[in-house]
Amino acid sequence: MEALEQRVASFPIPTSLRGCRVLDVGAASGWNAFAMAARGARVTAVDCVEFEELGALKALIAPEIDYRILDVDELSPASVGTFDYVLFFGVLYHLRHPLLSLEKICALTNEMAFVESFVSDPVECMSDACSMEFYENDDLGGQIDNWYGPTAKCLMALCRSAGFVRVRLEYVANRRAGVTCHRRWEPEPETPSSDAPWLFSAVNNRTSDVYFHLGKDEYLCIYFRSPEAPLTRDQIRIEVDGYGVNALAVHHRKTDEWQVNARLPSGIALGEHQVRLRTETSRFNNSFRISVVDGYAAAESGANAPSDARTNAGPPPLILGIENSQDGSTVFHGYATERLSCRFASVTAELCREAMEVSIDAPPAGRFVPDKPWQRGVGGEYYSASGHKSRDASPAPSDWQRRLEWPDGIRIQPYLIAHGRSTHLFCLISFSARVTPGPAATHH
């Protein structure tokens, strides 16, 4: 009893849990579940096998506890819901897929998860290694379902990789470790010392599109402007629908323009989601909208385009410039990775690819497959992807950017691109398998 009380006391679990939902994974005989219920929580207790003592005590002292027999693999927001706090004590090393299991725990957590596990650190000190031992048979404690022994550092890294953004080591002792895992970043600074970043775009790093596909391992590629330099992963605060997301890589592109890559949050659902970004010392600014769809057909059809951006009215846009997305020039080689990047001004505050047409010469050389436009802001007027302006509200053109794949059948020659009320010249000087060779090109 004393050891159980000490373990719970090692974590920053609120003393009052009234109005909170708590999940106890690996409930065993139910001591933790009853302790959380005593603090006022609405408790769901799960284990892979039934413990008669938990059922008997539940009937006597806490009938409101929801007791279920489930494996970790069966847990999901659809099967049990989501919880303010999750207790995950003494379970991780029993699971064959520890990172996937932690992702499931993260998807169930709204605020904090408290993780306790066996660790392989020496008894006398904490290891400096970030590694994990694998036990093929009954090598750990003579049990056939003890599979892994991470070091404490590895346990923390696994929790971050699973989607928790603030991970704090509470203790390491006698080959056990306790970790507190937060789903959300710390509050924005009350007095920021840096200007808020301006978010250009948030897209799928595989497709450069705003659509992400349910069940696929896809990553966010976020482009933003910030005067802070240098910037590191630890200084970036990404949010999707309020949940924190860890930065995996940060790249300085040019001047004050940056790129950061990240995973989508664990358990993200179908539909539209808001992405925003700040730094450690700044506030959030604008947001950008992405969509999670079920299969590529839905994305290509535009069925999940942002709902208030399907139809747009107003004067035609004005092209400000075009360039090769690879090198910034107006010369194109027909490489598979090249995109025609078109910047244009429009008074429309909401645009999506399904509402836009681009043609090269006349008649159009096939329909382009564009990315969602990036709204860049011009003349002090900054619109977000959802149409909210951060300066004054007077109508003014906004600076947008879109990238386009080459249509089939395009030839090697100079071209005029038409977009609304203006045209621009560019030149294609060679071709790939997707481009039909034609007359020799002249540089323009």
Domains of the chain, residue spans: 2-182, 198-304, 318-428
What dihedral do alpha carbons 233, 239, 245, 250 form, nearest 10°?
-30
- Which residues, at least 6 apart from 134, have a Cβ–Cβ distance to it below 8 Å? 147, 148
Q: Which long-range contacts (CB under 8 A, 24 or more apart) does 36-44 make?
A: 36/85, 36/87, 37/62, 37/64, 37/65, 39/13, 39/14, 39/15, 40/16, 41/17, 41/85, 42/66, 44/68, 44/80, 44/81, 44/83
Backbone angles phi, psi at 93, to 5 degrees: -75, -10
The CATH number of 198-304 is 2.60.40.10
The pLDDT value given to residue 27? 95
> The whole model's pTM is what?
0.77
Contact 339, 325 (CB under 8 A): yes
CATH architecture for segment(s) 2-182: 3-Layer(aba) Sandwich (3.40)
CA 112 to chain CA centroid, nearest Å: 18
CA 427 to chain CA centroid, nearest Å: 37
Contact 390, 286 (CB under 8 A): yes
192-203-310 Cα angle (round to 5): 105
Mean pLDDT by 10 residues, the chain (444 residues): 91 97 96 96 96 90 94 96 97 96 98 98 92 95 94 98 97 95 97 93 88 92 93 96 97 91 93 96 94 74 48 64 76 73 70 64 42 40 31 43 59 51 48 35 37
259: how many CB neighbours lie within 10 A of its CB?
16
In one letter, which amino acid is 145?
A: D
The 3-state secondary structure of the chain reads CHHHHHHHHCCCCCCCCCCCEEEEECCCCCHHHHHHHHCCCEEEEEECCCCHHHHHHHHHHCCCCEEEECCHHHCCHHHHCCEEEEEEECCHHHCCCHHHHHHHHHHHEEEEEEEEEECCCCCCCCCCCCCEEECCCCCCCCCCCCCEEECHHHHHHHHHHHCCCEEEEEEEECCEEEEEEECCCCCCCCCCCCCCCEEEEEEECCCCCCEEECCCCCEEEEEEECCCCCCCHHHEEEEECCEEECEEEEEEEECCEEEEEEECCCCCCCEEEEEEEEECCCCCCCEEEEEEECCHHHHHHCCCCCHHHCCCCCCCCEEEEEEECCCCCCEECCCCCCCEEEEEEECCCCCCHHHCCCEECCCCCCCCCECCCEECCECCECECCCCCECCCCCCCCEEEEEEECCCCCCCCCEEEEEECCEEEEEEECCCCCCCCCCCCCCCC
Nearest to 68 by CA among 53, 57, 79: 79
Rounded Cα gap, residues 337 and 381, in angstroms: 32
Judging by DSSP bridges, how do beta strands 198-204 and 219-225 pair with one another?
antiparallel
